[in-house]
Amino acid sequence: MTLFDDWRARSPFYDDSHTAVADSVRAFVAKEVAPNIDAWEDARQLPRELHAKAAAAGILGLGYPEEYGGHSTGFDIFHSLTQSEELAAVGAGGLSASLMTHGIGLPPVLALGSDAMKARVAPAVLAGDKIIALAITEAGGGSDVAALTTRAERRGDTYVVNGGKMFITSGMRADYVTTAVRTGGPGTGGISLLLIEAGMPGFTRTPLEKMGWHCSDTAALCFDDVAVPAANLIGPENAGFAGIMRNFNGERLGMAHSCCAYARVCLTEAADWARTRTTFGKRLAEHQSIRIKLADMARQINATQAWVDLCAWQVKQGLGQPADFAMLKVQATRMLECVAREACQVLGGASYLKGSKVERIYREVRVNAIGGGSEEIMLDLAGRQLGYR
């Protein structure tokens, strides 16, 4: 039994249906992912066929409309959290980031896109035949979405796009890119969303080498007079900012849960090591200081998971608040940073050698603290939403 199995068994938010999802995804990970994850890390990307296999296993479509090939009847947000937990078991954040990139790229299309766009894009993505990414961040703007400069100029039935995006997950392999562009004046009121497609003349991309998330391809995108059909506009012109912000709330909740999941991987590996490693004539786990360390790691994880589950329940009830998601993300990323550090201390020199899950997760701490909104931006957002100004 894993730590999360035990958590679910004693939680009011999970039942046997969530256990069934856990068992199914766990079997998929054991067969298709665990034997290959190190090779994919070295290759710096996931194989495209993994998306189709994940779709066949019911992973890509979980929570998405059945009319587009998903399966939503009888499933709730806690099934998605359970799935995320099992994907984290291999201790490689790039797996979920890239395999599940449709989780941030597809929702704006489904929420705001035309019926024709949804019918063309969603089934192919949920079947694993196509990959979709989200492109918001720019090299000069970071978390300051309102200041983005990539411009799309309307010329008849076409938008001509110039500019660039940075740090785009699945940016090298994506067939579709949900892209934030400026179609109007400065600030939030001049931003729109466009679906830019691979192969459009003038659309180029460059791979980026990173500290972690190695199996997730990340790219810098360049748009040089890219002609995009006006039919690829996602939602009304100059009304894209609201869609971006709504997307961020779900992304931040998902990242917070992932932090709990990877922290549990760290705790499990550290506890297993402590039970077998001998120092000064006894097992590490027999040293009081090590037991205190492990218990404190569990304390921080469980406290954060309780907040994750509460926020997930609030989403299910339509009671979610942006300030909560922002503060929760900071709580979760700081918790992961502490737990990963302590796990490294327990493993000692072994944690500095390539091959342990703790080593890989420790390298991926910072991307969680920065991606989806940095700690400082999150806390300032929460402070403003809570009226502290």
**Are 308 and 328 within 8 A, CB to CB?**
yes
How high is the pLDDT of residue 210? 95
Domain 132-236: which CATH number of 2.40.110.10, 3.30.465.10, 1.10.15.40, 3.30.70.330 = 2.40.110.10
Q: Are strands 282-283 and 278-279 parallel, antiparallel or unpaired?
A: antiparallel
Chunked mean pLDDT (size 10), the chain, 389 residues = 95 97 98 97 96 97 96 94 97 96 96 96 98 94 82 97 96 97 93 97 97 96 98 95 84 96 98 93 93 98 98 95 96 98 96 93 95 91 92
**Are 7 and 68 within 8 A, CB to CB?**
no
Q: Are strands 132-135 and 176-182 parallel, antiparallel or unpaired?
A: parallel
Which of these, 231, 139, 248, lies nearest to 188 by C-alpha position? 248
CATH class of domain segment(s) 242-385 = mainly alpha
Catalytic residues: 251
Positions of CATH 1.10.540.10 in the chain: 3-126
Positions of CATH 2.40.110.10 in the chain: 132-236
CA dist 232 and 179 (Å) reads 10
How high is the pLDDT of residue 271? 97
Positions of CATH 1.20.140.10 in the chain: 242-385
Question: Which parts of 99-202 are beta strand (E)?
Answer: 132-135, 151-155, 158-169, 176-182, 191-197
pTM: 0.94
How high is the pLDDT of residue 379? 95
CATH topology of domain 3-126: Butyryl-Coa Dehydrogenase, subunit A; domain 1 (1.10.540)
Instruction: Compute the CA torsion angle 79, 80, 81, 87 (nearest 10 deg).
Output: 110
Look up residue 106 and give its two tokens.
Answer: 């597809």
